[in-house]
Amino acid sequence: MSLLRLLPRFQRAEKAAQELAARESLDRSAIQDWQLNAINQMWRSATQNVPHYQQLHQDQSLPTEFDSLDQYSSLISVLDKSYVRNHPERFHNSSAGPGRWLRSGGSTGTPMRIFWTHEAHLINLQTRYRWYHQWGFDAHDRQTFLWGHAGSFAPGLKGLFQKFKQPILDRLRSRQRLSAYRLSPADLDQYIRKTQSFKPSSIYGYASAVELLAKRCQETGETLRGLKAVLLTGEPAYAKSIAEIESILGCPAIREYGSVETGIMANDHRDKTLRIREDRFFIESIPFTDDTYQIVVTNLINTGFPLFRYPIGDLCPAPLDRPAKGFAILQQVLGRDNDFVVGKTGRLVHANGVKHVFEQVDAIRRFRVNQDETGFVTAQLESHADSITSYELAGMQSALEELLEGFEVKIEIVDALSGNRAGKHRWVTSAMRPDLTNQTCT
């Protein structure tokens, strides 16, 4: 038995898993009451301690609490995401407990700073642990991550410390970490061998990277025995890919939907419906075009950085299905489709490898990366008023060229990047991707 089970945070998580399970069968009126009570608690604190909401409350003469969810949605306007991005200090709760500022490149290629209290972080992890329980394993079972490590791209001593720290944490948590930054056939063969030796209960990774690993198993005739589930996250996972992964690996492929700003919002339940944790979030689907709906999130757990009616930047093809009993169902998330970029040897590099390079530099507002058919990469950066230093530029260029095994990288500073109507753009594209797919994956 892992000694980590004896730590207070994991003892609390075990107890919370039972409470979370009980809420999943609440009827609709009980769920709405829960959400309204949570919103009112956070709203009272925010109007007293968060500069943006203090001003909003005063300027619009808003109530100190809401009588219904309908009243809340009618009185509180959808947040301007760019305002949150540009003024994160105005959303920080001065009475919040200890925590830390996180930084994300985000699904739009737009870095953002968010404060998470330690308490909210633990609550978010409890959501994930409950999801594990649903599928027959727990947080202490062996798990393989097909993932990145953003901290390793930090400049100077900070990056070195993160490179030293992460393997220790992974070992303590019974995790094996495989790099989604390196996905050539030889890399995938090595990952298969390592996974076979490690014998994890689950694989947790970017959906497209896990699909490549599964296809490589099929090509080579290798198997990964003992898997209880494959957890797909970080980007959309569509029905065809899910079915293919399940057929090859012989276990359920299940989705997780979340973001750094909000935490884990939805997971696949045992019936393979993507269910929103409505005890953690109040989520609305607002008509956007004739056939899409905007996902708008109110976070009910992070009092340190309250986001009321926050447009996450994703769309869904249908309104939320709110059954009479149990949590709401999200049909599918549309967004965050990016290409792999390609290294000089033909190695595929996940788009998040590129994102993790840029999210270490505070001055970057948005970015876009394009690789042409020769492998040459152009990165356009939109910066805040404060300039990007020559040291930072050199560090980013060096990190990208290392990821791409020597392909030349040109970084340009631009006044503005255009986006589409959803506020999204494909922030990593490669003209080499179509030519090398068969070479790498078949």
Residue 364: what pLDDT? 84
Mean pLDDT (whole number) for 189-211:
96
The per-residue DSSP string of 73-86 comes to: HHHSPPP-HHHHHH
236 closest CA partner among 362, 330, 105, 365: 330
312: tokens are 């996450």
pLDDT in tens, 31-49: 999 999 999 999 999 999 9
Residue 434: what pLDDT? 42
- In the chain, % of residues over pLDDT 70: 89
More confident residue, 173 or 316: 316
Give the chain's end-to-end CA distance (angstroms, integer): 41
- In the chain, % of residues over pLDDT 90: 59
pLDDT in tens, 253-306: 999 999 889 999 999 999 999 999 999 999 999 998 888 899 999 999 999 999
Cβ count within 10 A of residue 440: 20
Q: Are 358 and 105 in contact (CB under 8 A)?
A: yes
76 closest CA partner among 308, 315, 391: 308
The per-residue DSSP string of 163-188 comes to: HHHHHHHHHHTTEEEEETT--SHHHH
- CA gap 189, 220 in Å, rounded: 8
- Which range (92-101, 170-179, 296-305, 423-432) has the least confidence? 423-432
What's this model's pTM, rounded to 2 decimal places?
0.78
Residue 439: what pLDDT? 33
Predicted confidence band of residue 390 (pLDDT cuts 50, 70, 90): confident
- CA gap 198, 191 in Å, rounded: 10
Q: What is the crossing angle of helices 433-441 and 207-220, to 10°?
A: 40
pLDDT in tens, 343-352: 988 888 888 8
- CA gap 39, 438 in Å, rounded: 50
Mean pLDDT (whole number) for 72-85:
94
In degrees and rounded to multiples of 5, residue 133 shows phi and psi of -60, -40
101 closest CA partner among 110, 89, 109: 89
106 closest CA partner among 425, 435, 440: 425
Residue 440: what pLDDT? 31
Predicted confidence band of residue 189 (pLDDT cuts 50, 70, 90): very high
Residue 289: what pLDDT? 80
Q: In Å, what is the CA distance from 153 to each residue of 150, 252, 259, 357?
A: 6, 33, 20, 6
SS3 233: strand
Q: What is the DSSP letter of 267?
A: E
**Cα atoms found within 13 Å of the Cα of residue 392, Cβ hemisphere only:** 17
- Which range (91-105, 220-234, 360-374, 408-422) has the least confidence? 408-422
More confident residue, 110 or 171: 171
Residue 190: what pLDDT? 97
Residue 420: what pLDDT? 45
β-strands 274-276, 263-268: how paired?
antiparallel
- Which range (69-73, 78-82, 313-317) has the least confidence? 313-317
